Amino acid sequence: MSNEKTSKPKARLPRGFRDRTAGEIAAERAVLDKIRAVYESYGFEPLETPAFEYTDALGKFLPDVDRPNEGVFSLQDDDKQWMSLRYDLTAPLARYVAENFQNLPKPFRRYQVGPVWRNEKPGPGRFREFTQFDADTVGSNSPSADAELLMMACDALEAVGLNGQYIVKINSRKTLDGILEATKVSPTLRGTVMRAIDKLDRLGSEGVRLLLGEGRKDESGDFTKGAGLSKNQVDGILSFITSPDDGSKAIYGTSEAYGKGVAEVLAIRDIVESAGYGNERIQVDKTIIRGLDYYTGPVFEAQLTFPVTNEAGETIQFGSVVGGGRYDDLVARFTGQQVPATGISIGVSRLLSALKGRNEAALSPLVVVLALDDPQSSFKMASELRAAGVRCEAYVGTKKFGDQLKYADKRSAAIAVMEGSDERAKSEVTLKDLALGAELSKSVESRADWVKDRSAQISVQRSELVSKVRDMLARAK
């Protein structure tokens, strides 16, 4: 007989991924429904693209210089083609537009919601799998298209209950291109420099200084290689992003790229202000860069203005919950023809992390029909209640009465329904309000004990089941 022990896998989650419970899923569903209603009210229509794309179609806009699966999760199919899980919803949109360009209305306006995946180091509110809700306008180079997305983002954040506790910030990549020209930074380092500046809100000036220079070691000891700029170049960039607007304009206003960037941002600002979205909701901020390399012009970011507490009870700098911008060259990767495009993305998973404990959504109250001596009758009652819009289940576990009540308690059921032979003989059912279900489950072991407890139960005619359950649920709200 072999003495080898059977190896058992350890039950554990991969780092940066989460299991989600019913309450979290209900909260997300409520938020998605509100955002969807706003997007559709602006005339945007839904589109779905697959989770996987060919890796070359996604492009190397994340820091994945040396291998296909750096920054993304990738695999080879049976044709030896590299495929990657999408890291956002914008790159797949560019592929879709390129494939279907001739048949699409111009401009093409779509929204999409779904999970995306990034093979990056997780952190507070930052996961390797998360949900985004995007809206994009493809085929318009008008600042009106950018302005509309900013106003729609504000309306969506209001709809989910933030009530002005956010600020949407705008800038243009062209203004930073101007400073890179002025400080003689090599174009090959543009992406590295952009990503470094994008971390200003989390790392502060000194953290960005290290990333623009030789590199930075974080709290865990991990080292991120920097852009390798000279001290004069680093000083010039930091002076630009931290100095007052008037000063920076005087220093770098001669740059053509900088001038175009300023003009873009001011045009957008004038449109949103004329529509009633003032500086208290949308404002210019030249530190906004966005980390992805495909942005070509205006970039947007929405930040929360209230303190966020993490799981350790610490108040943290949470960062952005909405991001986006203009990416006029993304479709051209496929077609060779420049197609102007702009979009926003709401980080739903991050937003829900920040909103945890504030106006959390919940599933509708649950009614449990207990199983006594006639399962057919239990299922019939449950079906009647569901047909009337009540969330209801018929118990299918053990027949022990105490176990059934404990189950209803663990399910946080609002009402338990019972129809035994005694009730059936009188054409009645018994309804029990389980608001005190925890106490009931500890002490009640038999039907006789349960029947004696009359404080929260009623017997009603079987024909009145639906109406009486509705009345009890209404009183419980």
Q: Which of residues 355, 388, 408 is at a domain's end?
A: 355
Q: Which helix (H) or strand (E) holds 112?
A: strand 108-117
What number is the average pLDDT over the span 161-173? 92
79: in domain? yes
- Token pair listed for 407: 């189950």
pLDDT grade, residue 139 (50/70/90)?
Answer: very high
- Rounded to an integer, what distance in angstroms lies between the CA atom of residue 1 and that of residue 457? 61
Residue 312: band (very low, low, confident or very high) from pLDDT cuts 50, 70, 90: low
Query: Do 343 and 246 belong together in one domain?
Result: yes
Is 443 found in the same domain as 403? yes
Residue 68 has pLDDT above 80, yes or no: no
In a domain, 32, yes or no: yes
In angstroms, rounded to a whole number, what is the distance separating the alpha carbons of residues 87 and 58? Answer: 8
| Residue 64 confidence (pLDDT) above 50 | no
Question: Cα 20 vs. chain centroid, distance in angstroms?
Answer: 13
As a whole number of angstroms, the distance between CA 320 and CA 170 comes to 12
Determine the pLDDT at residue 67: 46
Specify whether 382 is located in the same domain as 309: no
Residues above pLDDT 90, as percent of the chain: 46
Task: Kindly tell me if the per-residue pLDDT of 88 is higher than 70.
Answer: yes
3-state helix, strand, coil in the chain (%, to 5): 40, 20, 40
301 & 395 share domain: no
Whether the bond into 46 is cis, omega within 30 of 0: no
Lowest mean pLDDT among 333-347, 380-394, 423-437: 423-437
| CATH code of the domain in which 397 resides | 3.40.50.800
Check pLDDT > 50 for residue 251. Answer: no
Q: Which of 187-191, 230-234, 300-304 has the lowest mean pLDDT?
A: 187-191
Per-residue pLDDT, 254: 60
Of 325, 355, 385, the last residue of a domain is: 355
Number of folded domains in the chain? 2
In-domain check, residue 164: yes
Closest residue by Cα to residue 177 from 298, 63, 94, 344: 298
pLDDT at 46 over 90: yes
Tokens 């200003």 belong to residue: 200
Residue 49 has phi, psi (to 5 degrees) of: -125, 160
Residues 82 and 227 in one domain: yes
Residue 45 falls within a domain, yes or no?
yes
Tell me: do 187 and 91 sit in the same domain. Answer: yes
Q: Which of 322, 355, 388 is the last residue of a domain?
A: 355
| CATH code (residue 136) | 3.30.930.10
Q: Are residues 334 and 379 in the same domain?
A: no
Query: Which range, of 17-26, 98-107, 269-278, averages the lowest pLDDT?
Result: 17-26
* Interval 58-85 mean pLDDT: 76
Euclidean distance between CA atoms 171 and 268, whole angstroms: 10
For residues 336 and 453, membership in a common domain is answered with no
Query: Does the predicted TM-score (pTM) go above 0.85?
Result: no
Decide if 265 contacts 144 (C-beta within 8 A): no
411/293: higher pLDDT:
411
In a domain, 101, yes or no: yes
392 and 276 in a common domain: no
How confident is the model over 378-388, as pLDDT tens digits? Answer: 999 999 999 99
Q: Are residues 410 and 463 in the same domain?
A: yes
- Position 263 in a domain: yes
* Residue found by looking up tokens 């991001």 in the block: 323
* 282 is a domain residue: yes
Can you tell me whether residue 130 is helix, strand or coil? strand
Q: Is 289 found in the same domain as 204?
A: yes
Give domain status of residue 300, yes or no. yes
* Rounded Cα–Cα distance for residues 435 and 475 (Å): 12
Looking at the structure, tell me whether residues 187 and 161 fall in a common domain.
yes
Structural domain range at position 156: 22-355
For tokens 């729609």, name the residue: 152
Kindly write down the DSSP assignment for every residue of 372-434, as one continuous string. Answer: SS-HHHHHHHHHHHHHTT-EEEE--S-S-HHHHHHHHHHTT-SEEEE--HHHHHTTEEEEEE-
Are 346 and 35 in contact by the 8 Å Cβ rule? The answer is yes
Alpha helices (runs of H) in 169-316, residue ranges in sequence order: 173-182, 190-197, 200-212, 231-242, 245-252, 256-274
Q: What is the mean pLDDT of the chain?
A: 85
Do 208 and 196 meet the contact criterion of CB atoms below 8 Å apart? yes
Spatial separation of the C-alpha atoms in residues 84 and 58, rounded to whole Å? 8
